[in-house]
Amino acid sequence: MNLKTILTTLLIAASTLLSAQTEQISGRVINRTGNSPIQGATVRVSNNIDQHFATTDENGQFSISNLYAGAWRIVISAEDFGNYETPVTLQANAALNLGTIFMFPISTSSVIADITSLESESSDYVQSGPTLLGASQDAFTSIANFKWRETRFKARGYDWNLGQTYLNGLLMNDANTGNAPFSLWGGLNDAMRNSESTSGMQPTNYAAGNVNGLTNISTRASSIRRGYSINYASSGESYAHRLGVTWSGEIADDLYLALAGSVRYSSADNPLNWTTGTFYQGASYFIGLEKRFNFRESLALTVLGAPIKRGVSAAAVQEVYDMLDDPYYNPNWGFQDGKIRNARMRNSHEPVIMLDYTNRISNRLRLQTAASYRFGKNGYTALDWFDAPDPRPDYYRYLPSYFSNNPLKEMEVREGWLSDPNVRHINWDGLYNVNYNNNVNLSNVTINGQQNQSIKNERRSKYAVQNRRADQHDINLGVTANSIITDVLKINGGLSYRWNRTEYFNEMYDLLGGQFWLDVDQFAERDFPNNDSVIQNDLNNPNRVIRKGDKYGHNYYAFTQTGGAWAIANVIFGQFDGYFGGDIGFTSFYREGLMKKGLFPDNSYGKSETLSFLSYTAQAGGNYQITGNHIVSANVNYSQRAPYFRDAFISPRTRNTVVEDLEPEKIFAVDASYTVRMSNVKARLNGFFTQIHDRSKVMTFYDDFYRAMSNFALSGVSQRHMGVEFGADVYVWNGFSLKGAVAYGDYIYNSNPYLTQTIDNSNEILAENQRVYWSGMYVAGTPQLATNFGVEYRAPRNWWAGVDLNYYNYSYIDMNPLRRTQDVEDAAADWFQMTYQEKFNPGFVLNANFGTWKSINRKYNLGIMLSINNILNNQTMQSGGFEQSRLQRERDEDGRFWENYSPFPSKYYFMNGTSYFLNVFLRF
Amino acid sequence: MKTLKNISKLFLLALLATTFTACNDKFNNPNDYVPEEDGDKNIITIAELKKSLWDRPNFLNDICVSTAVCEGCEIITAYEQIAHASWIREDVYIKGRVISDDRQGNFYKQLFIQDSTSGIVIKLGLNGLYNFYDVGQTVYVKCQNLVLGFYRGMYEIGYYPDNETYYPTSYIDIPTLIDNHILPGDPKDLQPIKSDTITIAELTRFFTSNGQINLNDLKNDMRMGTLITVKDLQFQSTEPFLGNMYPRFNSATNLCGTRNRRTGVEIKPGLVPSEVITTWALTANDLQKLGGKEVIENRTNKVVFLNHVMLDITEISNTLTEDGKLLFIPRTTTATVSHYYKDGSGTNTNTVIVRTSGFAKFAGLDRENRGDFTGVIGIYTSRTGGFPDYQLTLRDLNDVK
């Protein structure tokens, strides 16, 4: 036998083996309205191990081969259509023809928007909304994610950190805060489209369980839509223009490349933007490279990043909004050089590099190993000042109400606000001029690490812009195993490990016309004026001269490690599809101070104690198919999670002191749902109940009584969230559909937590374990009733229009816990005013949208969508707000201070008036 | 090759992108403010302004001010004989150089300017005045639509008084008011005024035999509000009265005291023995340290101060004692202290007070018991002009040699 014969025999033998995979699935995809074929729809056929893609041709036809017998899931998605999903079972050696598959158009599928973060001024906590990742076939989820975003709706009332976002199997939520990481890849929508999302407590393939949904985005180059995808968007809210280009293709044998880039821009004085002073300059890039070594192994590299700079707005008190008759007043900016300059800018560039190796060991077992590295800079600028008048225009002492005791002055102040932009906004010129005239001579300063230096006749800045940095190095490793044990049992599991070091410091961003800044603590200097060591922020570099770009104020590392193992088993018993899963892990963190704080010399430099927590989850549930169209499901979850770094240290900027008796958070959650999926009606009804115990939180603010930065450590917070969710999508007749959703919840605090207050210029505990009597009061941050009802018309010639109405109510203000403590309640001038929780205004919001798309030369797909939001221009609804942490003492008639406490006025954000969103895409 | 073309297209995009984020961030530095000049302003002397007050109508006669006596509203002329306040409606300016300095915290919301004839305080309601008006800098004050006042022997320029207070003027603390009325000259042209050396005898030459002053002399002494140096002062004693605490809880002349709303306890003024006060003034920390010390005093007045309500309100109600314990002083309270200094050579027995705020940065340092003192001179009388005390306010410790 010669070589040729051997090879041929082997080949025949091999092909017989391989020919075991001649099963195929085919079908034809048709647009339900107008019965036209849908070209360019993506068909994905997957089981726990493999996934295959195909694209429908001009007749809507597709066919996928090289499959094998077993259970598969088919998902068909197309621009502007709701996903079509069905499980199928392939028999051996048979081809399955699904026949005609009807897809129903929906109007929101191509709309993907980034949300400008709006944050409360007193904290660094940021709430950012998720980008809508692809269409969701569920009416409730798509309405909740897109339509209700204007009120910062949070599903089931949870904070963002209860939802999880994974990239290629690795958890990407921020290690320090748990926040969603969408800003890491803002603008890369087309590259991030291949995602699997669950909502609520539905089971996933990437974790044992979760309470607020999980999204896993796969960025493998081969799974990104082939060809070009160009997208232009414009919005009256976040950015005026966004342009993105994505391309993907096979550049060599089994080598796939995907590239994407986008720019987003909005200027600060954009007249279509409701809030002046907010600007947006962002770009993003994506490179994905994937090599398939053989049919088993593939390696994918992903590099992405989104450098961004954007100016933000701040909430203001009602007095200012009323005085200016403008609910969108933004105190963060002022005029400089004829242009709008915003003092508060978020700036970041945090690229992610990820390597992802998949080994399909057999058609029953697949192993995916991934490693990611996230690094870069993240900052948030703010004004800083030293022993000089507060430069913020809406500081309470600059408002007319501060002069209620002197009507003439009150009038003068009001006139100043209405006529002088330097009163109404930051007076940048004034800040520079103070710095220009502050020539000083100093001795005993540290310059470039050398102590005992002098400064001769240089301008010392009294005002500056600082950049509060939190720069991360985040390494994430994970192994995921997906297996199909039998046709009715599949098991997924994995191991994960994460190491994160975040460096927190202030960067001197702009000296505003001065030549240097001196790094000492101004509150300590006020209180201990003759103690040169206590006033130092860094005893190792006393009286440090700070130039532009230097670190000052505080500097420490937060080291966090988490690791764990998880597994979930899915079992099918006839009509019942159930699962149970669990995970166990640890979290540990510690602080390492890089500056020796003069006020806490023994407790600030070097490592703190290490805190470790055990975390675990147990979750079970399942679906029962009453018939193919009616499904009931239920889930139950119990878990324990570690607190986050920022809630574990009472004042990490100044010292290593840990919150006493820190407990991990415990969650018990249960939900049930009933789903109907018929060709004309899709509806889902959920009920849920979640109890959270032992949450902890640390808040920092400037306390006027102590005239120092003060910290609240809150522990033993319990929250109970329960409610119902309903969504329906009904095709009525001849292109008309009705769609609606209701989220009705009752989210309350159901414990009286403990509050301990400390200040930053002394180690004393000011108030220890004061009970906060707020049990029964509402969790803030979302309307607890959100409803939407709309009508859509789909014309046969590929255009559609729709009108919908939202109604929101039961949104409550974010509370200051101090106001509900015994001592403050007792000393309050008006107990009711001090303790009641304000409810925001309810309201209606009317929206309309229009869209069309067409196919040019059977090659180009062009689409355009325009939506006009809040047509009735409702400007009375607060989209957020908080009680100020300060309290004031009332003056009595003699002008002396009593201990009659009263609250400072609360601060609010208002929902934007009429605005638009335009989206244009071109694909080929 | 197609791929290269694609890659280069995207590189271009990336380049565009990064330039986008870098640009649009350039703001030119603003110009320096143009310093104020004489121009064609009608500038009058400070002495002239002061004297003109007595020809103006006193609007204090028409407004109701509250009294320190808790009897409600009382028309001021009944007892406040010498307080006087008037609007200045003519378009006149005064011009002087700055002699006070709040950098060290001893001049709170006060800007003293001095010209060749006299000096006067402008009640400027800003913290950190030194950031805007440096010692020796020329400042013009547009007096039109400001209020000129006279209170317990000192003239002042301010704004219309607050409702129900007994000060004849309020602070000028609104940006539009400040910008329109307080006009700084060239910040590079600093010419600190040389202090006038004066002896205690000369300073106190208006004293009558029983230590009082004639109302006319009081009104016409143009030396008040100027910078002087008194040589060879020697420490004599300290006023032990802690009613000068800020924030005030009570005052010596407060006949009805204050009552803690929750506990119903009455708080009366108290005293700290002078041996305790060896520093220029009592800082917040000094006062905290005093808490708990027994007051060795056989007067009947006792003192209890309330601490921040969060901590101690229950403790106060339980531990109130009758034995004069100083307790629970509010954390941010300080005490301004008046030290009496006499002539070191002993030729004259009159004294001058060196008065220091508890917020001064040097308040916690030990006072000098003997030396040459420079500062802004003022006088402080009772409401009716009696019991005058000359008071010297130091700018910083360089003023003591």
Dump pLDDT digits (tens) for A440-461: 999 999 999 999 999 999 999 9
Q: What is the mean pLDDT of residues B135-156?
A: 95
Secondary structure E strands in A628-764: 630-641, 665-677, 681-703, 708-733, 736-749, 754-759
- State how far the Cα of A571 lies from the Cα of A579, in Å rounded to an integer: 6
Residue B25 pLDDT exceeds 80: no
- State how far the Cα of A29 lies from the Cα of A105, in Å rounded to an integer: 12
pLDDT top residue among A105 and B86: B86
Q: Please say whether the beta carbons of B112 and B136 come within 8 A.
A: no
**Which structure tokens are listed for A21?**
């995979």
Choose from A218-232, A816-830, B124-138 the range with maximum mean pLDDT: B124-138
Q: What is the mean pLDDT of residues A427-449?
A: 94
Contact A823 B313 (CB under 8 A): yes
State how beta strands B227-238 and B196-197 pair. Answer: parallel
Q: What is the mean pLDDT of residues A836-862?
A: 90
Please give the pLDDT value at position B325: 38
Contact B308 A705 (CB under 8 A): yes
State how beta strands B119-123 and B154-158 pair. Answer: parallel
pLDDT top residue among A36 and A401: A401
Degrees, nearest 5: CA angle A874-A875-A879: 105
Residue A25 pLDDT exceeds 80: yes
Q: Tell which residue, A181, A210, A199, A176, has the closest CA to residue A642.
A: A176
Q: Kindly report the length of chain A.
A: 924
* Chain B nearest C-alpha distance from A292 (Å): 18
Taking contacts as CB-CB distances below 8 angstroms, the residues of chain B near A820 are none
Q: What is the pLDDT of residues A860-877, one digit of tens each?
A: 888 899 999 999 999 999
Complete DSSP assignment for A231-260: EEEEESSS-SEEEEEEEEEEEETTEEEEEE
Please give the pLDDT value at position A238: 67
Give me the residue spans of the domains in chain A. 3-103, 139-386+465-923
Residue A253 pLDDT exceeds 70: yes
Q: What is the mean pLDDT of residues B146-166?
A: 89
Burial class (CB in 10 A: 0-12, 13-18, 19+), A99: exposed
Mean pLDDT, chain A, integer:
87
Please give the pLDDT value at position B324: 37
pLDDT top residue among B9 and A281: A281
* Chain A nearest C-alpha distance from B193 (Å): 19
Please give the pLDDT value at position B5: 61
Confidence of residue A507 (pLDDT cuts 50, 70, 90): very high
Confidence of residue A700 (pLDDT cuts 50, 70, 90): confident
Contact A529 B362 (CB under 8 A): yes
Q: What is the pLDDT of residues A789-828, one digit of tens each?
A: 999 998 877 788 999 999 999 999 999 999 999 878 877 8
Q: Among A594-598, B85-89, B249-253, whose mean pLDDT is lowest?
A: B249-253
Helices (H), A804-907: 822-826, 831-835
Residue A205 pLDDT exceeds 80: yes
A281, A427, A705 ranked by CB distance to B332: nearest: A705
Percent of chain A with pLDDT over 90: 58
Please give the pLDDT value at position B330: 52
Confidence of residue B249 (pLDDT cuts 50, 70, 90): very low
Partner A contacted by B366 (CB < 8 A): no
Q: What is the pLDDT of residues B164-181, one digit of tens each?
A: 676 889 999 998 999 999
Q: Please say whether the beta carbons of B229 and B196 come within 8 A.
A: yes
* Chain A nearest C-alpha distance from B299 (Å): 25
pLDDT top residue among B287 and A320: A320
Confidence of residue A899 (pLDDT cuts 50, 70, 90): low
Mean pLDDT, chain B, integer:
77
Confidence of residue A225 (pLDDT cuts 50, 70, 90): confident
Residue A240 pLDDT exceeds 90: no
- State how far the Cα of A510 lies from the Cα of A435, in Å rounded to an integer: 12
Please give the pLDDT value at position B308: 22
Q: In sequence order, what are the beta bridge partners of A772?
A: A821
Taking contacts as CB-CB distances below 8 angstroms, the residues of chain B near A262 are 13, 17
Q: What is the mean pLDDT of residues A212-225?
A: 88
Cα A331 from chain centroid? Answer: 24
Q: What is the 3-state secondary structure (H, E, C) of chain B?
A: CHHHHHHHHHHHHHHHHHHHHHCCCCCCCCCCCCCCCCCCCCECCHHHHHHHHHHCCCHHHCCEEECCCCCCEEEHHHCCCCCEEEEECCCCEEEEEECCCCCCCCCCCEEEEECCCCEEEEEECCCCHHHCCCCCCEEEEECCCEEEEEECCEEEEEECCCCCCCCCCECECCHHHHHHHEEECCCCCCCCCCCEECCHHHHCCCCCCCCCCCHHHHHHCCCCCCEEEEEEEEEEEECCEHHHEECCCCCCCCCCCEECCCCCCEECCCECCHHHCCECCECHHHHHHHCCCECCCCCCCCCCCCCCHHHHHHHHHHHCCCCCECCCCCCCCEECEEEEEEECCCCCCCEEEEEECCCCCCCCCECCCEEEEEEEEEEECCCCCCCCEEEEECCCHHHEC
CATH number for region A139-386+465-923 = 2.40.170.20
pLDDT top residue among B2 and B55: B55
The phi-psi region of residue A423 (left if phi > 0; otherwise alpha if psi is between -120 and 50; otherwise beta) is alpha
Please give the pLDDT value at position B359: 86
Percent of chain B with pLDDT over 70: 68
Q: Please say whether the beta carbons of A381 and A343 come within 8 A.
A: yes
Residue A200 pLDDT exceeds 60: yes
**The dihedral sign for the CA sequence A224, A229, A80, A163:** positive
Please give the pLDDT value at position B72: 40
Taking contacts as CB-CB distances below 8 angstroms, the residues of chain B near A245 are 9-10, 13
Choose from A8-22, B38-52, B282-296 the range with maximum mean pLDDT: B38-52
Q: Please say whether the beta carbons of B155 and B226 come within 8 A.
A: no
* Chain B nearest C-alpha distance from A541 (Å): 23
Name which CATH class applies to B46-184.
mainly beta
**Residue B283: closest C-alpha in chain A:** A527
Residue B99 pLDDT exceeds 90: yes
**The dihedral sign for the CA sequence B51, B57, B59, B62:** positive
Cα A825 from chain centroid? Answer: 36
Confidence of residue A398 (pLDDT cuts 50, 70, 90): very high
Q: Please say whether the beta carbons of A920 and A851 come within 8 A.
A: no
Cβ-based contacts under 8 A for chains A and B: 200
B18, B170, B364 ranked by CB distance to A283: nearest: B18
Q: What is the pLDDT of residues A69-89, one digit of tens each?
A: 888 888 888 766 777 877 788
Q: How is residue A104 annotated by DSSP?
A: -
* Chain B nearest C-alpha distance from A387 (Å): 6
Contact A433 B331 (CB under 8 A): no
A267, A423, A821 ranked by CB distance to B176: nearest: A423
A263, A429, A462 ranked by CB distance to B16: nearest: A263
Please give the pLDDT value at position B81: 66
Contact A259 B174 (CB under 8 A): no
**Architecture of the A3-103 domain:** Sandwich (2.60)
Contact A405 B162 (CB under 8 A): yes
Give me the residue spans of the domains in chain B. 46-184, 194-401
**Residue B12: closest C-alpha in chain A:** A261
Please give the pLDDT value at position B318: 27
Please give the pLDDT value at position B285: 73
Q: Among A211-225, B66-80, B236-250, whose mean pLDDT is lowest?
A: B66-80
Residue B4 pLDDT exceeds 70: no
Partner A contacted by B165 (CB < 8 A): yes
Contact B17 A387 (CB under 8 A): no
**Model ipTM value:** 0.84
- How many Cα atoms within 13 Å fall on the side-chain side of residue A806? 28
Partner A contacted by B365 (CB < 8 A): yes
Q: Among A104-113, A139-148, A836-845, B308-317, whose mean pLDDT is lowest?
A: B308-317
pLDDT top residue among B186 and A115: B186
Contact A827 B10 (CB under 8 A): no
pLDDT top residue among A853 and A478: A478
**The dihedral sign for the CA sequence B149, B154, B157, B162:** negative
Taking contacts as CB-CB distances below 8 angstroms, the residues of chain A near B3 are 249, 251, 257
Which of B9, B26, B27, B170 to mutate against chain A (most A CBs within 10 Å)?
Answer: B27
Which of B310, B331, B334 to mutate against chain A (most A CBs within 10 Å)?
Answer: B310
B7, B27, B170 ranked by CB distance to A409: nearest: B170
Q: What is the pLDDT of residues A305-343, one digit of tens each?
A: 999 999 999 999 999 999 999 999 999 999 999 899 999
Q: What is the pLDDT of residues A513-554, one digit of tens each?
A: 999 999 999 888 887 888 899 999 999 999 999 999 999 999
Percent of chain A with pLDDT over 70: 91
Q: Among A104-113, A377-386, A674-683, B391-400, whose mean pLDDT is lowest?
A: A104-113
Q: Please say whether the beta carbons of A265 and A239 come within 8 A.
A: yes
**Which structure tokens are listed for A419?**
């006529």
- State how far the Cα of A265 lies from the Cα of A283, in Å rounded to an integer: 8
**Which structure tokens are listed for A216?**
């896993």
B20, B132, B361 ranked by CB distance to A263: nearest: B20
Contact B33 A284 (CB under 8 A): no
Taking contacts as CB-CB distances below 8 angstroms, the residues of chain B near A464 are none
Partner A contacted by B253 (CB < 8 A): no
Please give the pLDDT value at position B14: 58
Choose from A47-61, A669-683, A844-858, B141-155 the range with maximum mean pLDDT: B141-155
